[in-house]
Structure 1
């Protein structure tokens, strides 16, 4: 199956909101099985970053799940990908701002801080652990079998 991992994400796709703040997101997210949590967060992160870079991921509502995406990439065996995302989060400060308005304010103060991280992240999405889709499907298959 080309996107086996999606079968573990799809049931939650319309249920878990990334648009209503961190508390709402986290309450809904925690109801998911852990394997689906990891796949949900990494799917969002890789989709958003492939589309417009790390800056776009943080700037949009998707940035609410950055911490969960780091944990998800680790679970998928994509350790360098997780590290780049964590380092990028650290640029925005500690603790990482879960609030979108706060993230946007901090991003506005930084001159394109993620150029090199974007390039490496995109490469890793295709290479590390055989690439995101292979790693996600492999992780999903362990949970299903």
Structure 2
């Protein structure tokens, strides 16, 4: 009984699929929303393949494109969570595993106040930062000081503010991901 696909042909199909995604990404997007949509599609594709964000924080299709794409990916996930339910929602969900990357991204995007509050939250969790959603939730539930910092972050980080959006947009343009 012979298999229709050999290991080599499956690998070739995989590379071709990645080339399509890479070519799609290598296009310079006209606006931040379109770029964010592409990043979110990568997160969805990863989840549909059964890969948890806790096991692989950055999809390979994004990681291979370099640090600017990693930072924009992480902040697009962060923006969705924070915009929907605040900073605590980000940390309560599996996407909170991205917190150290988000902090570094916010620093690189010249959003020091946002990066500082993220640093305070990350530091409050202790080292090493808990990747597990359940470990973070247990810590939040049992640490009143951490809850206070998260409440402060709710008011301090506004992902809908023009300063925040323009900083992300400028970062994407400076790194040739937007026209």
TM-score range, shorter chain: 0.7 to 0.9
Higher relative contact order (CA 8 A, sep 6+): 1
Structure 2: 5+ residue stretches without partners? 1-29
TM normalised by structure 2 equals 0.66
How far did residue 31 of structure 1 move? 2.8
**Contact conserved, 2:106 with 2:115, CA < 8 A, in 1?**
yes
Give the secondary structure class of the aligned counterpart of 2:128.
coil
User: Counterpart in 1 of 2:166?
Assistant: 134
1:81 and 1:107, CA in 2 relative to 1: closer, same or farther beyond 3 A?
A: same
Question: Are residues 1:107 and 2:140 paired?
Answer: yes
Within the candidate set 96, 109, 116, 1:83 is matched to 116
**Contact conserved, 2:75 with 2:105, CA < 8 A, in 1?**
yes
User: Counterpart in 1 of 2:155?
Assistant: 119
| RMSD (Å), alpha carbons | 2.7
How many residue pairs get aligned? The number is: 141
C-alpha deviations, 1:41-66, integer Å up to 9, x for none?
Answer: 11211221222122111110110100
Q: Distance in 1 between the 2:160 and 2:103 partners?
A: 13
Q: Distance in 2 between the 1:59 and 1:10 partners?
A: 19
> Which aligned segments of 4 or more residues in structure 1 are displaced greater than 4 angstroms?
none
